[in-house]
Chains A and B, each alone.
Chain A
């Protein structure tokens, strides 16, 4: 025989609460998903440029010294490419057009990929006496910083969503207790402990949260995939590196479960508080 819960939850009431919780689950999965995809993107973006640096020599007297250092450390360098004047002129064209004279003012530049970060540090130290070494990571820091800001915003949305979930669950417990004073009185009469009543309330909230979590995740997952495919369509830049790996999807799948556990705990806390103040 199926064991009935003590609190009767009318259809409209449970549908309303399931819809609200599903929306909050959707928002939580979305905000965590966006934070994860930007986070992964920023990490990948950074990793891509960690070993790259540009060497600039403005004093032509130092060119041979820098060239010598680079030659002596060839075993620590994976790629070495001299940037031609034509390339530099092409890069500067939108801002500078010095005609034939510009050539006289251009620095000597190399793009270098080192084997390891320690190689980059050591060789940069040697070169810095004669020229300027600018790592790609430093040069691209505004993009990275924007990425971290987006993660921060997504995390803030996640925190706000979790706060709303706490308020919502507390409301469900209070609302159920208020609507079911009669049931509470009967439970009191038959010797139910506060713990038993809280457990009954937890059964209701668990049912709502499981349904809402499933709906929220199923709705959020395709939207996240849509965002990822749109980002990959960009092909280059930070946006193109956005991704969610297997671990990330695991985290997203577990989010509704954690929300359910949190809701169960919150229900118990609220119910016991209501009963003690009754």
Chain B
């Protein structure tokens, strides 16, 4: 395994309730800082793959390593600690309907025990940044699908994850907001070396952004295209390494709008 490998699968199979295998003998290595699209027909196993990486689902067999650690050997607290370096965005948003937008976005910080003053500062910033600052006190159900998706994205990126998994994050967005969200992910990948796997059906998106594709077909994966890391590619940000995560990103997306 290479030194920079962040996700490693070796002969992994997955099934639900011991029924037919959704994924069979999946083996691959993903290096730190790469960006992949994940494509495949509905029900092919894209979400299962993301759930396996995120340790929300246990493999039937095989070995998964994250950050060099065998996930089968991790305790529940170890998994929770690894989740502090990872984030996932689901198509169905996974927001808590009884909590405000602010509290939803603050959740990952609060579970880490970050002090409330800092939580308030960071959440306000990230909400402003995704264009939802004025919706901080409303419940997610009062927002449109696109806005809820952005709340979900805000909650994922607020922790500056090393790995970001996104399951059809642009599925509920119009083209303009979908491309803005893509730009946001690309900036995260380029500026901070976040490893991103983005599941999508959107062919236009895959054609526009020429990232390598992990294709799920017949319960197996095949990789199309060569992965590049931020070190290989032309960086958008040319200055010194940014110290303030959100202010640097917000320069790129000051007017993300409210879809």
Question: Residues of A with Cβ closer than 8 Å to B?
Answer: 1, 3-4, 6, 8, 182-183, 185-196, 275-276
Task: Establish whether residues B80 and A275, one from each chain, have CB atoms under 8 Å apart when the complex forms.
Answer: no
B102 touches A190 (CB 8 A): no
B108 neighbours in A (Cβ, 8 Å): 190-191
Is there an interface contact between A190 and B99, defined as CB atoms closer than 8 Å?
Answer: no
**Contact in complex: B103, A189 (CB < 8 Å):** no
Q: What is the distance, in angstroms, from B132's C-beta to the closest C-beta of chain A?
A: 16
Chain B interface residue count, CB cutoff 8 Å, equals: 29
Cβ–Cβ contact B88 & A189, under 8 A: yes
- Considering only residues 140-187 of chain B, those with a C-beta below 8 Å from chain A are 155, 159
> Any chain A CB within 8 A of the CB of B97?
yes
A189-B83 in contact given A4-B103, A6-B96 (Cβ < 8 Å): yes
Q: Is B120 an interface residue (CB 8 A)?
A: yes
The chain B residue sitting closest to A275, CB to CB, is B76
Determine whether B66 belongs to the interface, using a CB cutoff of 8 Å to chain A: no
Q: With A190-B111, A191-B112 as given contacts, are A183 and B88 in contact (CB-CB < 8 Å)?
A: no
Q: Are the C-beta atoms of B80 and A193 separated by less than 8 Å?
A: yes
- B65-103 toward A: CB 8 Å interface, digit per residue (1/0)? 000000000001100111110101000001111111011
With the chains together, A4 CA to B54 CA distance in Å?
26
> In the assembled complex, which residues on chain B have CB atoms less than 8 Å from the CB atom of A190?
83, 107-108, 111, 155
Residues of B within 8 A of A (CB): 54, 56, 76-77, 80-84, 86, 88, 94-100, 102-103, 107-108, 110-112, 116, 120, 155, 159
Residues of A contacting B84 in the complex (Cβ-Cβ under 8 angstroms): 191
Residues of A within 8 A of B86 (CB): 191
Do the beta carbons of B56 and A4 come within 8 Å of each other? no
Can you offer 17 A-B residue contacts whose CB atoms are under 8 A?
A1-B120, A3-B110, A4-B99, A8-B96, A185-B56, A185-B94, A186-B107, A187-B107, A187-B111, A191-B82, A191-B83, A191-B84, A191-B86, A193-B80, A193-B111, A194-B80, A276-B76
Asked whether B80 lies within 8 Å of A191 as measured between CB atoms, the reply is yes
CB neighbours (8 Å) of A182 from chain B are 94
